[in-house]
Structure 1
Amino acid sequence: MSTTSSKRFTPAFNHTTLVILAAALVLSAAMGIRQTFGLFIGPFSFDRGLPVTLIAFAIALHNLVWGFAQPFAGAAADRYGSAPVVAFGATTFAAGLGLAAATPSGPLLIVGMGLLVGIGVSCTTFGVVLPAVGRVASPEKRSMAMGLVSAGGSVGQVLMVPLVQGIRLHAGIATSLFVLAFVMLMVAPLGIVLDRRAPIGAPRHEPPAAPLRDTLAQAARHRGYRLLTLGFFTCGFQLAFIATHLPGYLSLCHMPIGLGATALALIGLFNMVGSWGCGWLGGRFRQHHVLGWLYLIRSATIGAFFLLPKSAVSVVLFAAVMGLTWLGTVPLTSGLVAKVFGTRHLGSLFGVCFLSHQIGSFLGAWLGGVVFDLTGSYSLLWQATVASGLIAALLHFPIDDTALPTPALRSEPASA
């Protein structure tokens, strides 16, 4: 009896582990590369004579395009599988980086780093890879599995930032961007692994889902889903502002050259622990409560960093705490959506929610450049990140996380 059970358990374990590893590698490449964009603001401005506002707009635009494309990318992965979506996204991502590397033109930089990179990121990050993981993991392990993928995705941030910094200093902007494009092409085939089916005889974790249209209508009526979507705006706003403008802000504070790259790498390093930890907490406590506390801790950290004197020690401590709370919102948010609505249309539902995140990302990156050009300071944006975090915490605590029956099985709409 024990031998039979072991034989049945091992393939499922290996299958799930393989999907987690593939998802982590795809996410690591995509998220690690986009985390380096803040390092190019100064070189694009000084070497190519482009205004900071235009460069910040290009970086911000990819966040906005990512957000609008994410529901479509998630729906395509739900329907056709992850392999074609990841392959298309990785190729488009690489093309955008190559275009930004090859031309000093501002409009083409916007097309490459803004439009093409945004489409590529939408097909190679959370809205595509996490639903694939959610479908192979059991409900009780789903939050932790998504946390592991998010943590593995941080490896790219840890490795890419110092790599790009070194290549850029020794070989220039173009070479470093071409290297990043090559990395994206290397992960394109991994979507095939994400489409691996569960082993024969593996249990189904939930009943068949209703059509996408009915599920979207159900989500639109759900008060908790609306609050979650609104709160996710803050995550994008805070992270995009810090990732894009922290190196420049530290230069204004007369911090040592290279400390900005070190801080971004440290954020990625500690995010490995934070993403796994948030996924672990989400499997043991109510996920929306963990999200509320995460936003409170993040906002308090940002406020303290802005108000207190700057030093190398304070920058390292800030990066460490921010890393612990950086992308922990993603496994918690996607896990909460899966808990309430199931996993069949998780890519589409998370994609709609993620659009709010990316509108916040666009504003965080772009307004940072606008405010700096107008005032010569980032102070207003630091204050805005603190205030938005407090509002997000208040939005998350009252969310109702009760699992809903599929619309097809309901006799009448349930009140949220």
Structure 2
Amino acid sequence: MSAVARAARSPLVIILCGCAIAALTFGPRSAAGLLLAPISDSHGWGRDVFAMSFAIQNLLWGVGQPFAGAVADRFGAVQVLMVGGLLYAAGLALMPFSSDPLAMHFSAGVLIGFGLSGASFSLVIGAFGKLLPDEWRSIGFGFGTAAGSFGQFVFTPFASALVANYGWQSTVLVFAALMLLVVPLALALAAPKASGASGPKAADQTIREALKEAFATPSYWLLVIGFFTCGFHLAFVTAHLPPYLIDKGIAPAIGGWTLALIGLFNIAGSLGSGVLAGRMPKRVLLSAIYFARGALIAAFILLPTTPATSLAFGAGIGLLWLSTIPPTSGIVATLFGTRYLTMLYGFVFFSHQVGSFFGVWLGGLLYERTGSYDLVWWIAIGLSIMSGLVNLPIRERPVARLAPAT
């Protein structure tokens, strides 16, 4: 192998290109809350219409994730990432021409949802699990997750400025052009066919056998159930926090900066979680994150809503935002190895996206029914407690198939 080829396969290059993809694909969707009001106002829709498009996007992202993961596990991540990036770009480009709810559901919902299933940080994390050596893997998971947050930090004020000066239509077209960068960046994540096996027994395992093994493992189901809450929180806050703050008399720019702070502080939160996940029981870390989220949300809605409390909430929830992903993906790798990590994590992530669907959809629905987001905030708190308890009984040990190898 030439020196150039070896450099292209170095862990640093893999992490940098993967993180760039994660930042690019996570950024535009994190600005959905800044687009909700302008899109609704320009079409004369209620908030529930675009909320439904965003909910469909989250649900289809989750539906497509296990299948995209299975293809990536079988043939490599490059082609999946490229197709996902192109679908994402197409969905964004069609949004300005979606003049009725059905068309918006297709562009912002179906196309972007399936695009994300093939080009999001979940595929990047799966590729990291296969391509990075053991000593790089946990920190790679943390960097891949943090990169999505960096995308949120960059894209939310960028989107706020673009919407204010050029309108939401131009904003999403700019985002569509940026998504095309995923195609060349994906080349750095090329892997040998069927790579990443954890020992000889993992190499012989079929997809059917891997799924049967996972679904027969109680700890895997606990992980799936608990991850629902993470999706509910992220999607509800992303889509509905900016209009919630506007309803409380807070300037729209504060909503943009609050989302940006979530992204900024989640860089530290994700990296810290990646480090802690290698030094303490991952189930305990997950439970602590969920309990902390519930306490923080309760404090936010019970205290007076001001610019200061809004920004403080953004910083606090940012530390907990995607910090669930390194320990969650780490538990999947611990239980089953890395051969089918992308697919098996994809099924866990499906639960996350079902939660995202309900977080966005219920936010819009209950707001239109009650004129307030209060009930949804309390649902979010109850789910925090549930997930904190569900993760504690998880057993972090390899399945019997891998036990002799470890």
Instruction: Tell me what 1:309 maps to.
Output: 304
**1:24/1:50 CA distance change after superposition, 3 Å:** same
Instruction: Tell me what 2:291 maps to.
Output: 296
Measured after TM superposition, the shift of residue 259 of structure 1 is 0.7
Tell me the distance in 2 between the aligned counterparts of 1:221 and 1:205.
19
Measured after TM superposition, the shift of residue 19 of structure 1 is 1.0
Corresponding residue SS for 2:396:
coil
TM-score by length of 1: 0.92
CA contact (8 A) 1:299 1:386 kept: yes
| Equivalent runs, 1:108-257 vs 2, <5 Å | 108-196=103-191, 206-209=199-202, 210-257=205-252
Q: Which amino acid aligns with 1:277?
A: G
Offset from partner CA, 1:179-224 (integer Å, 9 cap, x none): 00001011222221111559xxx99864451111111111111110
- Specify every segment of 5 or more residues in structure 2 that has no aligned partner in the other structure, as ranges: none
Measured after TM superposition, the shift of residue 358 of structure 1 is 0.3
CA contact (8 A) 2:76 2:192 kept: no
| Equivalent runs, 1:68-83 vs 2, <5 Å | 68-83=63-78
CA contact (8 A) 2:197 2:339 kept: no
Q: Which amino acid aligns with 1:70?
A: Q
CA contact (8 A) 2:26 2:152 kept: yes
Instruction: Tell me what 2:340 maps to.
Output: 345
Find the partner of 2:401 among 392, 403, 406: 406
Find the partner of 2:259 among 254, 257, 264: 264
CA contact (8 A) 1:73 1:127 kept: no
**1:78/1:14 CA distance change after superposition, 3 Å:** closer
- Aligned Cα RMSD in Å? 2.2
Find the partner of 2:101 among 106, 109, 120: 106
Measured after TM superposition, the shift of residue 98 of structure 1 is 1.0
Q: Which amino acid aligns with 1:18?
A: V
Instruction: Tell me what 1:414 maps to.
Output: none
Tell me the distance in 2 between the aligned counterparts of 1:409 and 1:294.
33
Instruction: Tell me what 1:4 maps to.
Output: none
Q: Which amino acid aligns with 1:189?
A: P
Instruction: Tell me what 2:54 maps to.
Output: 59
Q: Which amino acid aligns with 2:111?
A: L
Tell me the distance in 1 between the aligned counterparts of 2:307 and 2:315.
12
Tell me the distance in 2 between the aligned counterparts of 1:76 and 1:248.
38
Offset from partner CA, 1:345-400 (integer Å, 9 cap, x none): 00110011111100000000010000000000000000000000110000001100
Instruction: Tell me what 1:323 maps to.
Output: 318
CA contact (8 A) 1:28 1:154 kept: yes
Measured after TM superposition, the shift of residue 232 of structure 1 is 0.3
**1:203/1:317 CA distance change after superposition, 3 Å:** closer
Tell me the distance in 1 between the aligned counterparts of 2:341 and 2:198.
14
Q: Which amino acid aligns with 1:397?
A: L
Tell me the distance in 2 between the aligned counterparts of 1:324 and 1:206.
36
Q: Which amino acid aligns with 2:356?
A: S
Tell me the distance in 1 between the aligned counterparts of 2:249 and 2:167.
24
Number of residue-to-residue matches in the alignment: 399
Corresponding residue SS for 1:344:
coil
Q: Which amino acid aligns with 2:132?
A: A
TM-score by length of 2: 0.94
Q: Which amino acid aligns with 1:123?
A: G
Corresponding residue SS for 2:180:
helix
Tell me the distance in 1 between the aligned counterparts of 2:44 and 2:359.
23
CA contact (8 A) 1:140 1:283 kept: no
Alignment of 1:36 onto 2:40: no
Q: Which amino acid aligns with 1:225?
A: Y
Corresponding residue SS for 2:399:
coil
Corresponding residue SS for 1:104:
coil
CA contact (8 A) 1:151 1:272 kept: yes
Find the partner of 1:358 among 353, 369, 379: 353
Corresponding residue SS for 2:181:
helix
Alignment of 1:281 onto 2:281: no
**1:337/1:393 CA distance change after superposition, 3 Å:** same
Tell me the distance in 2 between the aligned counterparts of 1:36 and 1:177.
10
Measured after TM superposition, the shift of residue 294 of structure 1 is 0.6
CA contact (8 A) 2:198 2:339 kept: no
Offset from partner CA, 1:146-183 (integer Å, 9 cap, x none): 00111122221111111111111111111101000001
Measured after TM superposition, the shift of residue 51 of structure 1 is 2.0
Tell me the distance in 2 between the aligned counterparts of 1:273 and 1:178.
30
**1:259/1:60 CA distance change after superposition, 3 Å:** same
Measured after TM superposition, the shift of residue 124 of structure 1 is 1.0
Offset from partner CA, 1:104-146 (integer Å, 9 cap, x none): 2211110000000000001111331101101123335422210
- Specify every segment of 5 or more residues in structure 1 that has no aligned partner in the other structure, as ranges: 1-7, 411-416
CA contact (8 A) 1:339 1:403 kept: yes
Measured after TM superposition, the shift of residue 316 of structure 1 is 1.2
Corresponding residue SS for 1:258:
helix
Alignment of 1:19 onto 2:2: no
Which 10-residue stretch deviates more, 119-128 or 370-379?
119-128
